[in-house]
């Protein structure tokens, strides 16, 4: 059983019991959240596709932790112009554990 959900402008393939990192969500650690934007779902035998969403489908998950990802370096330079800028960035994320998939 799996589903494809949309959150934070990105799509994720989820399965019950799996842990994944999604863009930052509001909520405390241990709270249960529901993703209602299910684009596709499968119960093992049939595949339910949405146009664009599967009606009545939802995915519930538990918030495991909040954190920041790996640091990336943004470096800008214009040669021979005495211009160089270096900046670091760490993207915040929320780690969630998928609890249940309901296809409606």
Look up tokens 């040669």; give the residue: 79
pLDDT tens digits, one per residue of 27-83? 999 999 999 999 999 998 999 998 999 999 999 999 999 999 999 999 999 999 999
Q: How many CB atoms lie within 10 A of CB 69?
A: 11
β-pairing, 32-35 vs 58-78, is antiparallel
- State how far the Cα of 29 lies from the Cα of 47, in Å rounded to an integer: 32
One-character DSSP codes across 13-80: EE-TT-EEEEE---S-TT-EEEE--EEEEE-SS-EEE-SSS-TT-EEEEEEEEEEEEEEEEEEEEETT
Q: Is the pLDDT of residue 4 over 90?
A: yes
Give me the pLDDT at residue 44, please. 87
What does pTM read for this prediction? 0.84
């Amino acid at each position: 059983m799996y589903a494809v959900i949309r959150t934070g402008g990105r799509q994720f393939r989820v399965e019950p019991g799996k842990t994944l990192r999604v863009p930052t969500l509001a909520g405390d650690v241990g709270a249960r959240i529901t993703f209602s934007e299910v684009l596709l779902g499968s119960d093992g035998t049939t595949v339910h596709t949405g146009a664009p969403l599967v009606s009545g489908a939802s995915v519930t998950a538990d918030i495991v932790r909040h954190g920041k990802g790996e640091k990336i370096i943004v470096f800008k330079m214009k040669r021979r112009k005495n211009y160089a800028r270096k900046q670091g960035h760490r993207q915040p994320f929320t780690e969630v554990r998928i609890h249940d998939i309901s296809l409606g």
